[in-house]
Each structure stands twice: as structure tokens, then as C-alpha cells.
Amino acid sequence: MTTFIEVDYQFPAGVDARRQAQAIAIGQTAGSWDARFQHREAQLRGHLGEVIAIAELAAGRHQATVRFPAANVDGRLGSLLTMIFGKYSLAGPAKVTAIRLPERFGQAPRFGLDGIRERLGVQKRPLVMAIFKPALGLTAADHAAILAEVAVAGLDVIKDDEILPDLPMAATLARWEACAPVIEAQRDQTGRDLLYAVNLSGNAQQVQTLALQLVAA
């Protein structure tokens, strides 16, 4: 049984949405489709994208839904994004507004939102998150001091600013080692958990090494 990935594209007023959607359906799958490929139709047809709906929106805009065979991608995010937008993103006028994936597509998150809520013991209300600021110029000890001040406010999650790399003055592992006792103390005092989303940066090997070090710390 063939499974599909459906993507909604929104086009601004004045754009031929059907023509653009057809360009996406072909350009992001076979890349080209005309009489030259008729002798391979049986082989290639199952990989072509298909425009399955065009809807008119307010202010002259249109939405097109393109259906892609899920077999065209390998289940990884990179190949998915390349297929649904890829080279079209460089020149096309559309923006992606929705993606509907097969139920078993790719690798599911280890915890997911439900798992995070269960870990925190928060089911009904929105989660409260903060970001370490200033993003740069703080030591690992500074991060711990800031966390100690804001944790008592009922924080659920705190995260590094994404522009903070693994700098010597506030190395990734050092930040965690400084903040972990604060989190433990908060848990002991209140019975509530607090999650720290640590930013990892570097090449693939460095990121993997840091991740393993953090798990072991």
C-alpha cells in the first residue's frame, strides 16, 4: 500500500497557484516530465508528486495541496525538507503552511511533548520557559546563579540561547555541571522538576561526544 506526504503551499495574489503547484509536484520529485520519459512511465510514475487540491483564500491568495509518495524520502528530516521545498525555496513565491506525514514516518522523538509533560508533572497549563540572557559573556557559574534566581518563579524549562557555542569561558559541559546542583536543589525543595535544554554546537563528532558526556555527567 502506497503512503503519502501531503503539503499545503500558500501563494500570494497574482500567482498562478495551479501552475506553481504543478511545478513543485514535478520539480521536487522527477525533476522533469515530458514526452522524452514516456518509455519510463511505469517506472517513474510512482515517484511523481500530484496536485490534489487548489483553494482560494482571502485577499486573492491561494492554497495548493501537493501529495508526495513517502517512498521518495528516507525518513530523515533533511531528505523530507529537500523534497517538499528544496530548490523551489530559492526562487518560488510559495510558503509551506502545513505538512501531513504518515503515522509511522521517520523516527519518533524519545519523549515527545507528552513525555516532557509527564516528566514535569504538568498536564493542563502551558509550560513556562526562560532563556539564559545575556546570551554571551557569562561564565558557567553565572549561568548557575541566574538559574537559582529564576527557578523559584515556577519555571518548567530553561534553555541556552542558540547563538552560544561551546566557548572556553562557558563550556557546554561546564554549564551543565554548574546548573545541575541548582536543579537538584529546586527539585528537593519543591518536588517539581526543571529541565535544562543545553545547546550543542560543533561538527557531527563533537556534538555526539558532547551529548554522550552530558548523559554521563
What is the set of active-site residues?
A: 87
Cβ distance 106 to 134 under 8 Å?
A: no
Cβ distance 105 to 72 under 8 Å?
A: no
Count of C-beta atoms within a 10 Å radius of residue 5: 21
Secondary structure class of 118 (helix, strand, coil): helix
Q: Please write down the HEC assignment for all residues of 9-31.
A: EEECCCCCHHHHHHHHHHHCCCC
Question: What distance lies between CA 182 and its chain's CA centroid?
Answer: 29
- Residue 73 β-bridge partners: none
Cβ distance 156 to 120 under 8 Å?
A: yes
Nine cell digits for residue 86: 528544496
Nine cell digits for residue 157: 524549562
CA–CA dist 149, 5 (Å, integer):
46
